[in-house]
């Protein structure tokens, strides 16, 4: 789903204008970015938790050349779904 599709769905389901919906979505994303980059986690009830985690440096080996390369430490965005989201995802994938 692209941003414009998300805006359309939200605008339709809330009877808001697309312009107002886009402003609201942009403000929401800005707050999420500020909190996550500030080292805080964001908990969305009935959905899950977003947080930045530190991924340590590691050595990887190229399978063909056997050349060893170091991948530096980095920050990574992680998502932990709630139990309800996990259950819904598991149930829907099990039926397929």
Q: Tally the C-alpha atoms within 13 A of residue 58's C-alpha that lie toward its C-beta.
A: 6
Which is more confidently placed, 90 or 25?
Answer: 25
For 50-68, the pLDDT digits (tens) are 999 999 999 999 999 999 9
What is the sign of the dihedral through the CA atoms of 12, 14, 18 and 21?
Answer: negative
Match 């063909």 to its residue by tokens.
64
Residues whose CB falls within 8 Å of the CB of residue 25, separated by 6 or more in sequence, listed in order: 3, 6, 7, 10
Helix (H, G, I), strand (E, B) or coil at 59: strand
Single pTM value for the model:
0.71
For the stretch 15-56, pLDDT in tens is 999 999 999 999 999 999 999 999 999 999 999 999 999 999
């Amino acid at each position: 789903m692209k941003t414009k599709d998300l805006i359309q769905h939200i605008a339709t389901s809330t009877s808001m204008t697309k312009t107002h919906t886009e402003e609201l979505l942009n403000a929401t994303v800005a707050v999420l970015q500020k909190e996550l980059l500030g080292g805080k986690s964001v908990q969305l009830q009935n959905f899950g938790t977003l947080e930045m985690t530190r991924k340590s440096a590691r050595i990887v080996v190229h399978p063909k050349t056997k050349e060893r390369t170091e991948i530096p430490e980095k920050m990574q965005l992680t998502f932990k779904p709630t139990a309800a989201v996990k259950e819904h995802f598991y149930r829907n994938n099990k039926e397929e």
